[in-house]
Amino acid sequence: MVSFRSLSWSSLFILSFLFISATIDAFALPHRDDALNSLLNISTKPSGSPKRCKKSLIRKAWHTLTRKERKKYIDAVKCTQHKKGITKNYFGIKHFTIFEDFAFEHAKQTPYIHTVGHFLHWHRYYVKAFETALREQCGYDGAQPYWDYAHDHPNGLSSSSIWSPIDGFGGNGLSVNLSLPNPNAPAIPALQYQSGGGCISDGPFKNYLIRLPRQNKTIAEPRCIERAWSELYFNHFFSRAKELDMYRAPTFYEFLAVKLDRVQDFSKWKENLDVAMSLHGALHLTVGGTQSDKYFDPVDPIFFMLHTNIDRYWRRWQAANPLVRHNEYALTDVPPPSSLPPKTNQYGFGYLNVTNTGGYKVTLSGLAPEIAIKRLMDTTNDLLCYDYDTTYKPLS
Ligand SMILES: [Cu+2]
């Protein structure tokens, strides 16, 4: 059976192993009783066959939101950045915010939830949980919006309304010396850096202080949100034509492992971008900076806009043949031995040899209850209960 974990991971993991051997056991995970005591009230009670929810939340593209709607969303995100979360006394931080809990959860699980069969399921649940946090914890009454990259594609990356300093996420990072190694992704050639690279200097998050580490480290590194835009990747990967091509994938394997989250070979970046990078990888490098840190990338709130549109792709692809596609899981997550992630990583998290049957459960630790991936297949079931404004609309 083909495994689609990237070979380029192996070098990353060798580095990780070296680092981990020096730091393992330095931190112990705080105790949490996941099943009984999660922050969010996502009901996972087994209900036999999943019922339809009565009224799905409809997720809309950022550029279609009114000013007021945008402000409400940004305010809710800011609220999670102040409100107490669940992790205590970790990385020298007395009490995490909800926003930091989310970022840490992603970092903890990074080696086990990317280029694997449940990549999309995990991120679907993660975004759903974040949307629930905004609503339950911060009084937000809307849905999680998404960034329709292809809508902005004809006018170029910098034209997008998501970068608005007034009712968006602020723009590119300040210029730094682009020949320096990118501290967020040292394994990726420095040339991935195209512009900016430093702290964002406008918008609602320009003064946000990241208190967490970079990458897979265990030492906190207080810093700003960084961005390093790449028009090159944006132009290459995010046209509507590329999106429509995704929907032509005949199988889930093709959709996930060939078109979306394929094996990357960064050494080919000059000759062939499609080989060098997956669409998902290119998305993170299009925004760059903090978004190119594949562990702590959710500390830039733009992460949720990016990933919600990936989820929309999947939803749209599924909706074209729901009977089949709500039951298609991706093979197995067993990677080749050379690139096995650690059985337990430096944050005390780990698992190996996942077989993605519908019963396989994903976890968000204390944020939300564990859930079997079969419950994450149909976004309009009683658990997820959301849809996208464009699921059945023609796209042009
Ligand atoms: Cu991720």
Q: Report pLDDT for 276.
A: 82
Residue 183 has pLDDT above 90, yes or no: no
Q: From ligand 1's centre to the CA of 282, what distance in Å?
A: 13
17-66: pLDDT as tens digits: 333 333 333 333 443 444 457 888 776 655 555 566 888 999 999 999 99
pLDDT band at 75 (very low <50, low <70, confident <90, very high): very high
Q: From ligand 1's centre to the CA of 109, what distance in Å?
A: 9
Distance between CA atoms of 274 and 282, rounded to whole angstroms?
A: 9
Distance between CA atoms of 2 and 5, rounded to whole angstroms?
A: 9
The CA-atom distances, in angstroms, between 322 and each of 252, 319, 326, 328, 380 are 12, 5, 5, 10, 11
Q: From ligand 1's centre to the CA of 8, what distance in Å?
A: 17
Residue 84 has pLDDT above 50, yes or no: yes
Q: Would you list the domain boundaries of the chain?
A: 8-388
Q: From ligand 1's centre to the CA of 284, what distance in Å?
A: 9
Q: Report pLDDT for 44.
A: 61
Question: Would you say 350 and 363 are in contact if contact means Cβ atoms under 8 Å apart?
Answer: no
Lookup result for tokens 């990747």: 233
Q: From ligand 1's centre to the CA of 48, what distance in Å?
A: 30
Q: From ligand 1's centre to the CA of 115, what distance in Å?
A: 10
Distance between CA atoms of 6 and 315, rounded to whole angstroms?
A: 25
Report the first-to-last Cα separation within the chain, whole angstroms.
37
| Distance, C-alpha 144 to centroid of its chain | 13
* DSSP, residue by residue, 1-30: ------THHHHHHHHHHHHHHHHTTSS-PP
Q: From ligand 1's centre to the CA of 374, what distance in Å?
A: 20
Q: From ligand 1's centre to the CA of 114, what distance in Å?
A: 6
Q: From ligand 1's centre to the CA of 324, what distance in Å?
A: 26
The Cα angle at residue 364 between residues 361 and 368, in degrees rounded to 5? 95
359-379: pLDDT as tens digits: 888 999 999 999 999 999 999
Residue 225 has pLDDT above 60, yes or no: yes
Question: What is the token pair recorded at 160?
Answer: 């997008």
Q: From ligand 1's centre to the CA of 176, what distance in Å?
A: 26
In the predicted model, what is the mean pLDDT of residues 133-160? 97
- Give the number of C-alpha atoms closer than 13 A to the C-alpha of residue 173, restricted to the C-beta side: 27
Distance between CA atoms of 349 and 258, rounded to whole angstroms?
A: 28
In the predicted model, what is the mean pLDDT of residues 260-289? 86
Question: Would you say 208 and 81 are in contact if contact means Cβ atoms under 8 Å apart?
Answer: yes
* pTM recorded for the entire structure: 0.87
Question: What is the token pair recorded at 298?
Answer: 């959710």
Task: Give domain 8-388's CATH superfamily.
Answer: Di-copper center containing domain from catechol oxidase (1.10.1280.10)
Q: Report pLDDT for 24.
A: 30
Q: Report pLDDT for 321.
A: 96
